[in-house]
């Protein structure tokens, strides 16, 4: 039997076995991994898409999205570019680039090469959106966003939370808290509910900077380069809408926004997740490894967020799926170097 009990000693800075010896022991070669990945892609991507939402992966979902080529359609592409700039102006990024310290702030202030800001009085208007054919209209701008219900989500959630705090009956207390958490994960977003999500202590933006500071000077752990975004409210609201009903223009906006916000390189491999959820039990949700997938990262992140929100619903699978909250309790998206 393979005994791994002595790989590490009490001094965590020293491994009993070198990386080379570990690799030799595990007998994993780059060629074997490449062959496995090729076989996995060949067989898994050709399987039928399940009618159970929770068994659909992000790449399968994106393959069903409407595709409209707007190249050369000046007005549509102009609106996309302007909306992306509006969203970039709202994006906050934490970046760990493998060096001591980190940057955190508005996306333009994090990188001195970003000099394009949204000009004043250039916001996309509802009149401009309504001039487009219905199938090409975006579902969001930096200022406007579609919702399922009316405003007031945050007030309703706070009222329910206040009732939870004031209630003494344990059963009623649990009922109120469960419904507060369920609503936080699935209802339309407003400024209050977004601010509540921002306080989630389990989200990676809270603990990863502390981890970096704690272990950076250790030679034992390998930390991937990481970018954590506080997702602008209009973008995150799209995860509370029906994913399959969003317009092709919306998907292009979110893809282009993520390309620029995360400064993606189409030749690199990435691991993606939200602040608390990656749905990585189907690794196609988390692992990005070719140019086409890098271009579609926005669609994948949005689907993972939508799927997480759907966990809070009752039985969307038709198979007695319980209501599970927590997977959507974050306002962060993450792109990490794949190691």
Residue 3 in domain: no
pLDDT of residue 57: 83
3-state SS assignment for residue 161? helix
**58 vs 199: CA distance, rounded Å:** 27
Residue 25 in domain: no
Residue 297 in domain: yes
Helices (H), 89-152: 107-110, 126-130
pLDDT of residue 275: 96
Pairing of strands 92-96, 270-274: unpaired
Residue 49 in domain: no
Q: Which helix (H) or strand (E) holds 214?
A: helix 204-215
What domain range is 198 assigned to?
69-148+188-337
CB 298 within 8 A of CB 255: yes
pLDDT of residue 316: 57
pLDDT of residue 136: 93
pLDDT of residue 165: 94
pLDDT of residue 16: 55
Number of domains in the chain: 1
Long-range contacts of 318-327, Cβ-Cβ distance < 8 Å, separation of 24 or more: 318/51, 318/52, 319/52, 321/54, 323/178, 323/182, 325/178, 325/181, 325/182, 325/184, 325/185, 326/181, 326/185, 326/202, 326/276, 327/185, 327/276, 327/277
Residue 36 in domain: no
Residue 331 in domain: yes
What are the respective helix, strand and coil percentages of the chain, to the nearest 5? 45, 10, 45
List of the chain residues with pLDDT < 70: 1-30, 33-34, 36-46, 69-73, 100-121, 150, 314-321
pLDDT of residue 69: 66
Instruction: Report the largest interatomic distance among the alpha carbons of the chain, rounded to a whole angstrom.
Output: 70
Partners of 138 in the β-ladder: none
Contacts of 84 (CB under 8 A, 6+ apart): 253, 256, 257, 260
pTM metric for this prediction: 0.81
Strand order in the sheet with 92-96: 103-106, 92-96, 226-230, 332-337, 270-274, 287-288
Q: What angle do CA 58, 323, 329 make, to 5 degrees?
A: 65
Q: Which residue has the tokens 């949005």?
A: 302
Residue 54 in domain: no
pLDDT of residue 104: 59
3-state SS assignment for residue 244? helix
pLDDT of residue 36: 64
pLDDT of residue 201: 93
Residue 70: count of CB within 10 angstroms of its CB: 16
Residue 47 in domain: no
């Amino acid at each position: 039997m393979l005994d791994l009990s002595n790989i590490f000693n009490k001094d965590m800075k020293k491994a009993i076995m070198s990386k080379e010896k570990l690799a030799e022991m595990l007998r994993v070669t780059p060629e074997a991994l490449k062959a496995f990945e090729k076989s996995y892609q060949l067989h898994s991507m050709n399987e039928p898409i399940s009618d159970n939402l929770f068994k659909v992966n992000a790449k399968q979902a994106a393959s069903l999205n409407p595709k409209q080529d707007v190249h050369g359609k000046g007005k549509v592409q102009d609106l996309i570019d302007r909306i992306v700039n509006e969203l970039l102006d709202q994006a906050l990024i934490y970046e760990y680039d493998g060096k001591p310290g980190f940057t955190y702030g508005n996306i333009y202030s994090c990188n001195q090469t970003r000099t394009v800001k949204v000009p004043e009085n250039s916001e996309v208007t509802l009149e401009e959106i309504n001039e487009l054919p219905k199938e090409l209209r975006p579902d969001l701008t930096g200022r406007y966003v579609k919702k399922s219900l009316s405003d007031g989500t945050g007030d309703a959630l706070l009222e329910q939370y206040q009732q939870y705090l004031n209630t003494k009956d344990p059963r009623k207390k649990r009922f109120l808290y469960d419904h507060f958490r369920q609503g936080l994960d699935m209802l339309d977003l407003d400024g209050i509910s977004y601010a509540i999500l921002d306080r989630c202590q389990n989200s990676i933006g809270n603990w990863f900077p502390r981890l970096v500071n704690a272990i950076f000077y250790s030679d034992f752990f390998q930390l991937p380069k990481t970018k954590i975004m506080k997702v602008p409210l209009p973008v995150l609201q799209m995860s509370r809408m029906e994913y399959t009903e969003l317009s092709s223009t919306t998907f292009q906006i979110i893809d282009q926004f993520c390309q620029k916000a995360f400064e993606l390189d189409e030749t690199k491999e990435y691991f993606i997740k939200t602040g608390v959820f990656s749905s990585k039990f189907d690794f196609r949700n988390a692992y990005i490894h070719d140019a086409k997938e890098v271009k579609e990262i926005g669609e994948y992140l949005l689907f993972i967020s939508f799927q997480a929100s759907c966990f809070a619903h009752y039985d969307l699978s038709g198979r007695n799926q319980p209501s599970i909250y927590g997977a959507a309790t974050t306002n962060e998206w993450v792109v990490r170097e794949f190691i």
